[in-house]
Structure 1
């Protein structure tokens, strides 16, 4: 069948679908109507290589063999995880203390250069300091 859309002509051959007359039917506003059931559901083949999330597929129902081997997951030891968490926690405390120092310098009116110098608290720090000196979770909301 020759069709034309916006001045471009093309040939269109609709797929033939075999149907069987259904059991139900009747008249509506003087016209006969019947349900038609498909004898076999159509299987449309894709015209291009289709990909979904990096996986290619061509025909429904066929399994494509995987050519790439799955990546091995890097396993980190528990000690390394604990060390990383402790370092991140220490870094967060350091940033929080630097921010408090900068705000204090501005509040008392000292020159801004005073807030550039920062060093850890020298001397003995109580072991429970890290447990109690942390942001409160509800204040983040």
Structure 2
């Protein structure tokens, strides 16, 4: 496929993946939709240590499952605490408004 960007033309050939038709997964708007499975797994790029403007980084950062689970648990905890704090703030503002309307403040 020939593409052009800012006056520069180039040839783009997207990677094609061979798939096999799977079983029917369900219906959507009257049409069947199916799962598609890859015939062979995709080739992963090798891990490389790189440097950009003096800062070292890796193209495939490796995080252990424990670290990932800890991050998810911490994020869930923060979301729960934020919801509780928002509910408390809403209740306090409603009570303050009621006190103002009744002439207590």
**TM-score above 0.5, yes or no:** no
For normalisation by structure 2, the TM-score amounts to 0.38
Higher relative contact order (CA 8 A, sep 6+): 2
Higher helix share: 2
Larger Rg: 1
Higher strand share: 2
Give the structure-1-normalised TM-score.
Answer: 0.30
